[in-house]
Amino acid sequence: MEIIIQPTTEAAVSVAARIIARLLHDKPDAVLGLATGSTPLPLYQALIAMNLDWSKVTTFNLDEYIGLPRAHPQSYHSFMWENLFQHINIPKENVHIPDGHAPDIPKFCSDYEIKIHEAGGIDLQLLGIGTDGHIGFNEPTSSLTSRTRIKTLTQQTCADNARFFGSEREVPHHVITMGIGTIMEARQILLLAFGCQKARAVAEAIEGPITSMNPASVLQMHQTAKVCLDEAAAAKLQRADYFRWVYDHKPEWQDF
Ligand code: PGA
């Protein structure tokens, strides 16, 4: 894993935006795996401001609540259109977001896997991390080889996400999420984490054992996973100085 620690959230976002901009420059028809939540929001704002060409890009979102109408303000459909897609020139047919209202959800999930495969696989998967180490909505104890499927959220995740809803009672308990095995097949992975509430999950994922108790720890097995952190999210890393030293001494050709 490449750990990139930046002094501020803005600086970490700027590194992540440059990584994605470079990919779209090098591969205009790239396939991106996208994430929702508060973490990617400033990244989407930065990407919008860069005026990139998204006309050939295809996207697959990680997850969606089951049972929320698409138009519900907290559905991930609404989130993605409001915060990214309506501001860029991506063709509507290139956007894929799990459908939490599909009549046959298990079939929808296996078809989603087929669509990712038919699109040529994901070039870069963007990830946030839950306070319990989840990636997508793969909660602790998820199979490390899981595929797109239905999951039940933990009470902790429902409590964490209650801030987006009126109350914790309104947070749906069931979701569709890409599996950990699905995520691990992406050619590049870019995980972002900001703020001290993520510091423990981040340290366990990077420096702890690989365990389904912290699903993000599986990224230790990925060949090109990058983790972009602000200082607060990096606060519990024992090897932070080493990670900073590596980043500061990157050869020019490796720079973003
Ligand atoms: P957040 O969620 O970005 O809203 O903190 C991250 C996640 O649950 O993956």
Task: Break the chain into its structural domains and give their ranges.
Answer: 2-230
**pLDDT given at position 230:** 98
Q: Is 136 helix (H, G, I), strand (E, B) or coil?
A: coil
Grade residue 88 by pLDDT with cuts at 50, 70 and 90.
very high
Distance separating alpha carbons of residues 129 and 202, to the nearest angstrom: 8
- Above 90 in pLDDT, residue 128? yes
Q: Is 179 in the pocket of ligand 1 (CB under 6 A)?
A: no
Please confirm, yes or no, whether 99 is among the known catalytic residues. no
Q: What is the mean pLDDT of the chain?
A: 96
**pLDDT given at position 219:** 98
* Cα 62 to averaged position of ligand 1 atoms, centre (Å): 12
Q: Is 80 in the pocket of ligand 1 (CB under 6 A)?
A: no
Strands 58-61 and 174-177 come out as unpaired
* Cα 38 to averaged position of ligand 1 atoms, centre (Å): 6
Q: Which pair of structure tokens corresponds to residue 223?
A: 């060949």
113-123 residue pLDDT tens:
999 999 999 99
Residues 6+ apart with CB under 8 A from 31: 57, 58, 59, 60, 116, 119, 120, 121, 122, 123
Grade residue 132 by pLDDT with cuts at 50, 70 and 90.
very high
**pLDDT given at position 54:** 98
Grade residue 251 by pLDDT with cuts at 50, 70 and 90.
confident
Q: What is the pTM of this model?
A: 0.96
Please confirm, yes or no, whether 132 is among the known catalytic residues. yes
Distance separating alpha carbons of residues 174 and 67, to the nearest angstrom: 8
Grade residue 252 by pLDDT with cuts at 50, 70 and 90.
confident
**pLDDT given at position 205:** 98
- Average pLDDT, stretch 28-53? 98
Residues 6+ apart with CB under 8 A from 94: 56, 57, 58, 59
- Residue of 38, 76, 127 best suited for mutating to test ligand 1, as the one with most atoms within 8 Å of CB: 38
Grade residue 136 by pLDDT with cuts at 50, 70 and 90.
very high
Q: Is 38 in the pocket of ligand 1 (CB under 6 A)?
A: yes
- Spatial contact of 256 and 19, defined as CB atoms under 8 Å apart: yes
198-225 residue pLDDT tens:
999 999 999 999 999 999 999 999 999 9
Please confirm, yes or no, whether 29 is among the known catalytic residues. no
Q: Which pair of structure tokens corresponds to residue 52?
A: 């990139």
Q: Does domain 2-230 have CATH number 1.20.1730.10?
A: no
Q: Is 153 in the pocket of ligand 1 (CB under 6 A)?
A: no
**pLDDT given at position 213:** 98
Grade residue 254 by pLDDT with cuts at 50, 70 and 90.
confident
**pLDDT given at position 72:** 93
Distance separating alpha carbons of residues 10 and 89, to the nearest angstrom: 24
Catalytic residue of the set 134, 160, 222, 231: 134
* Cα 230 to averaged position of ligand 1 atoms, centre (Å): 15
Tokens 């409590």 locate to: 159
Please confirm, yes or no, whether 185 is among the known catalytic residues. no
Q: Is 37 in the pocket of ligand 1 (CB under 6 A)?
A: yes
**pLDDT given at position 255:** 74
